[in-house]
Structure 1
Amino acid sequence: MAKSKFSIGPAALVAAAFIGPGTVTVATKAGANFGFSLLWALLFSVLATMILQEMTARLGVIGQKGLGQSIRELVKNPVLKVISIILVVSAIIIGNAAYEGGNIAGATLGVQAVWDYPDLAGLDLAALIIGVTAFFVLWTGSYRFIEKILIVVVILMSVAFLVTFAITKPDIVGLFKGLLIPSLPDGATLTVIALIGTTVVPYNLFLHSSSAKKKWKTPEELQQARQDIYISIPIGGLISVAIVSTAASAFFGSQMDINSAADMAKSIEPAFGDLAQYMIALGLFAAGISSAITAPLASAYALSGLLNIPEDLRNNKFRIIWMVILVVGVAVASLGLKPVSVIWFAQVANGLLLPIIASFLLWAMNQGFLGQHKNSIWQNILGFVVVIVSIVLGGKSLLSAFQVL
């Protein structure tokens, strides 16, 4: 009977990972520039995330394999294997290091909105605090501890952004209309791509499969993994909806130039009071902590599986991987580089990686080692739709990154 008990788990890590400062900033700009009209894109992205993450959970629980390990084992041709591994490893290192730097830098902007702190020997104090916090959490080498910390962070973000949402008193009818009736205002294409691209994140596929196999070991526990997804991922989506709605209520139709959540934190105080300003800053800082922990962890799981390194949080090679990503991220944020410039590289890497990783996942989920738990026809159809959308989004993401679109 104990095995039937439900507990929040790896999907909470996924929610913590995709609600980073980059997502907060994209959601803020979406609401400020287009009101509630793009909420449908968030709804789609949450459903797509649940489809892919359910597959990774099955891969972990039933196959007891991480996605990186599956990719290494599935590609038999030596040349293709080397090319696949080099491509994915390069994209993960560049992409996650860039996201890490951009997200930490974005979180520091939120802190700066409410706290005028001095530099520490030329380095950003808030970035150092976030980086050191992430370092000690990851260094414990305890999956359960990391999981609990991230669950707390997700709860903190939920409270912060939902309180701000309540303070701004959004138009509920407009909110549901935006969720359920797709529309594409002039100039909104890139914002839709960004909203979906910051939620359906390829690195989370590695993070979830490896985390699921650590937490659950038997087919009987698969239902727990699915319940975890059906609760945690929508909570992450709800946070994004709250951010878009807050920005829409406070700034849509105004003449204010709102380009980030930090701008929103500074601008919201005159109309809605100190509490709203501090809640946004707190939520943005918590988002920075969550990203600082999950991006290096996802990189370590992905590269360990691909390079045949033990997926052991206390293994020195595993630790070196996440430390490199974390140090690069803190350095980028501390040296004053603009988050937008840093995320440009991540945009390119993500545009390349998402369709490839989603295709590998779909391939893995049709293998015989999963037995009766391999993909059904409907799961393949849904997965194929997500892959096609990811290819389109990836192409447009690359074109926009090179200022072609």
Structure 2
Amino acid sequence: MKRYFAVLLGVLTAIGGFVDIGDLVTDAQVGARFGWSLTWVILVGIGGICVFAEMAGRIAAVSHRATFDLVRERLGPRVGMLNLVGSILVTLLTFIAEIGGVALALQLVGSVSHVLIVPFVAVAVWLVLWRAKFSSIENVLGLMGLALLVFAVALWQLGPDWNEVVHQLKPTSNPGGESWQTYAYFGVALFGAAMTPYEVFFFSSGGVEERWTRKDLGVMRANVFIGFPLGGLIALAIVGCAAAVYLPQGIAVETLGQVGLPVAVGVGKIGLAIVVVGFFAATFGAACETGLSVGYSLAQYYGFQWGKFVRPKEAARFHAIVLLATVLAAGVLVTGVDPIMVTEVSVVFSAIALPLTYLPILVIANDPDYLGEHRNGPVANALGLVYLVIVVIASVAAIPLMIATSTGQG
């Protein structure tokens, strides 16, 4: 029974981890501008995060070491440093966006500017990361994240023309009449949001935190292959709600409130209250994950004690890094920078960093010295190579598309 409960909690955590501020905003923007025509990108992204998260989780369960710990050892300090720099920059940018997302979610229930809320959010995130148990963070926020399922209910209540939905599912439909450059830009952004690098680093480090062993491989795979697709279904529901409400009116999504408004249209005020809870859980949970991931990456690369499985004083440098990252994130946001803009930039730069994240995982997952009989088989390698080609294409295309479309504006 304990093992089944662990699967359930892992599934809930995966749902919350998949749908963060980047997914919330990008999914709604895509639905409002392109309808269902970019659904294929979400499906490809779900497959990709499942393939590499399974590898990262397997590495943690078999070697009892996190991914970054092995990248430096297996690939050397230079490659490890390149991987570290790319990961830290993207994860820190995402951390800033997530803290801003929590402030925006709280702003929805009051009239206080999100800038004034940011310091309190930062303090709350740091206190949770410093004092709360790892299992409490993932389980409580994972359960609260289920509130986002209200998007699926709202989509059903909105009653879209399902024949039209099927027509829009064709990648070539582009019902919003946008340019194909803009279509490609949002495709890359959507893919980057689905495969944000911190997800696999957090998943791997979390496996070490929870002391996974070979006996837990089944639990780990259930977390991956049930949890992430369920998170993807929520993402599709967000796309569908935005497509049903905003696409016919030609309205673009620019705020977090607009992301949740279709739920109010479909379900009413109760639905809106539920979705605000979901926004808070998803963004606060992702803020905790990204904050921890900053500390994980640096600590694992330089080889000092890390994690919440030890007392804070035994991992003082790890917690100091998390504190400094939190202060930096709050400092950026209190200048008045728009969290939505930070989010839009973060998902594109996530796409740029994808090869630095996933190539080392593929290499280590094939190393018999670390994984023995549990190293990648032919199917895992084939899927890994296919997705590696995709992430390289997305990485190379991201900056030119960002410039050509003025960050999706033209």
TM-score range, shorter chain: 0.7 to 0.9
Percent sequence identity over matched residues? 22
Specify the SS of the correspondent of 1:68. Answer: helix
Query: 1:136-157: CA deviations, max 9, x gaps?
Result: 2211252222221232232233
Q: 2:208 aligns with which of 209, 213, 225?
A: 213
**Residue 45 of structure 1, CA deviation:** 0.8
Could you say which residue in structure 1 is the equivalent of 2:177? none
TM-score normalized with structure 2 length: 0.86
Could you say which residue in structure 1 is the equivalent of 2:28? 28
Could you say which residue in structure 1 is the equivalent of 2:221? 226
- Which letter does structure 2 place at the counterpart of 1:63? S
| Whole-angstrom CA distance in 2 between matches of 1:40 and 1:72 | 35
Specify the SS of the correspondent of 2:8. Answer: coil
Cα separation, partners in 2 of 1:282 and 1:168, compared to 1, 3 Å: farther
Larger deviation, residues 242-251 vs 276-285: 276-285
Q: 2:142 aligns with which of 127, 148, 151?
A: 151
Larger deviation, residues 346-355 vs 226-235: 346-355
- Which letter does structure 1 place at the counterpart of 2:155? F
| Whole-angstrom CA distance in 2 between matches of 1:152 and 1:19 | 13
Contact 2:23-2:194 within 8 A present in 1 as well: yes
- Which letter does structure 1 place at the counterpart of 2:172? S
1:71 aligns with 2:60: no
Could you say which residue in structure 1 is the equivalent of 2:362? 362
Contact 1:344-1:401 within 8 A present in 2 as well: no
What is the RMSD computed on CA atoms of the aligned residues?
Answer: 2.8
TM-score normalized with structure 1 length: 0.87
Q: 2:283 aligns with which of 285, 288, 294?
A: 288
1:100 aligns with 2:101: no
**Residues 56-67 of structure 1 correspond to what in structure 2 (within 5 A)?**
56-67=56-67
Could you say which residue in structure 2 is the equivalent of 1:133? 124
Instruction: Please list every run of 5 or more consecutive structure 2 residues that lacks an aligned counterpart in the other structure.
Output: 175-179
1:255 aligns with 2:247: no
Instruction: Please list every run of 5 or more consecutive structure 1 residues that lacks an aligned counterpart in the other structure.
Output: none
| Whole-angstrom CA distance in 2 between matches of 1:25 and 1:290 | 16
Contact 1:168-1:249 within 8 A present in 2 as well: yes
**Residues 191-340 of structure 1 correspond to what in structure 2 (within 5 A)?**
191-265=186-260, 273-313=268-308, 314=312, 315-340=315-340
| Whole-angstrom CA distance in 2 between matches of 1:34 and 1:210 | 36
**Residue 339 of structure 1, CA deviation:** 2.5
Could you say which residue in structure 2 is the equivalent of 1:397? 398
Contact 1:131-1:292 within 8 A present in 2 as well: no
Cα separation, partners in 2 of 1:114 and 1:378, compared to 1, 3 Å: same
Cα separation, partners in 2 of 1:52 and 1:297, compared to 1, 3 Å: same
Contact 2:27-2:190 within 8 A present in 1 as well: yes
Aligned residues: 394
Cα separation, partners in 2 of 1:365 and 1:178, compared to 1, 3 Å: farther
- Which letter does structure 1 place at the counterpart of 2:371? L
Cα separation, partners in 2 of 1:345 and 1:22, compared to 1, 3 Å: closer
- Which letter does structure 2 place at the counterpart of 1:290? G
Larger deviation, residues 29-38 vs 185-194: 185-194
**Residue 23 of structure 1, CA deviation:** 1.2
- Which letter does structure 1 place at the counterpart of 2:138? E
Query: 1:284-343: CA deviations, max 9, x gaps?
Result: 333221221111112222222111122332311111222222222233233310235434
Contact 1:33-1:252 within 8 A present in 2 as well: yes
Cα separation, partners in 2 of 1:173 and 1:326, compared to 1, 3 Å: farther
- Which letter does structure 1 place at the counterpart of 2:187? V
